[in-house]
A and B are shown apart, each in its own frame.
Chain A
Amino acid sequence: MKITIKKSDYDRIYEHALKERPDEACGLIAGVDREDGVREIQKVYLLTNIDHTNEHFSIDPKEQLASIKDMRANGLSPLGNWHSHPESPSRPSEEDKRLANDSKASYLILSLQEEGNPVLNAFHVEGEQGARTVRKEELIVIEEE
């Protein structure tokens, strides 16, 4: 699957992740699944990691609920979530896979491992616990005029 994100939204995620370091940062993504098969992120949500650590994240459920209502009010669909890996690569950890419970979601991971060289990838996770399969999605950052 192809998934697109606006450069401005990418920048917001990156800046938020830098601000939250050394903790992991997290949030939601929303938009539309277009008829041509492209998943288009139209809005990102910068939410609170209630774990406040550099090794785990849990999205604040109250903020998650408020975000879902905002998506609905704006005609957007929930597409998945994003989180940062402050000190590790941009790929799902075992815990990420274990907790990826929505097979329709896209999971974006922003690695800050290399200073000044952030890496953002998108993944799709499916299958039963213990037998999860991960597929990398084609993430395209859209430069705006």
Chain B
Amino acid sequence: MNITVAGTKKEVADGLTVSALIELEQVETPQYVTVSVNEEFIGSDTFDAHVLKEGDEVEFLYFMGGGAR
């Protein structure tokens, strides 16, 4: 099936989960990555169960935060 990852169209295996895509894309420090599918943010506890489908648009975002102290 065809999906779009970070703006780039890719052909991937049917039934690919978000967890598998993170591994496939060799995402650095995945524990700090937020994932959106079709502009909806999905919880990290559902990465294993979330099966991607044809035409999905996936983005990986690093949490960005900090503090003054």
Contacts and interface: CB of A to CB of B under 8 A. Distances in A.
A107 B67 CA distance: 12
Contacts of B66: 56-57, 83, 92-93, 95-96, 99-100, 107
Interface residues of B, number: 18
Residue of B7, B39, B65 most packed against chain A (CB within 10 A): B65
Contacts of B68: 24, 54-56, 85-88, 93, 95
A55 B34 CA distance: 23
Contacts, number: 70
Interface residues of A, number: 34
A56 to B, nearest CB: 4
Interface string B21-35: 000000011001010
A93 B67 contact: yes
Given A65-B39, A101-B32, A59 B7 contact: no
Nearest to A53: B67
A26 interface: yes
Interface string B1-26: 00000010000000000000000000
Contacts of B64: 26, 28, 58-59, 64, 81, 99
Interface of B: 7, 28-29, 32, 34, 36, 39, 41, 59, 61-69
Given A56-B66, A69-B7, 19 more contacts: A55-B68, A56-B68, A57-B65, A57-B66, A59-B65, A61-B34, A64-B61, A65-B61, A68-B59, A72-B7, A87-B68, A95-B68, A95-B69, A99-B63, A99-B64, A99-B66, A99-B67, A101-B29, A101-B63
11 contacts: A54-B68, A56-B68, A64-B64, A65-B36, A65-B59, A68-B61, A93-B67, A93-B68, A95-B67, A99-B65, A101-B62
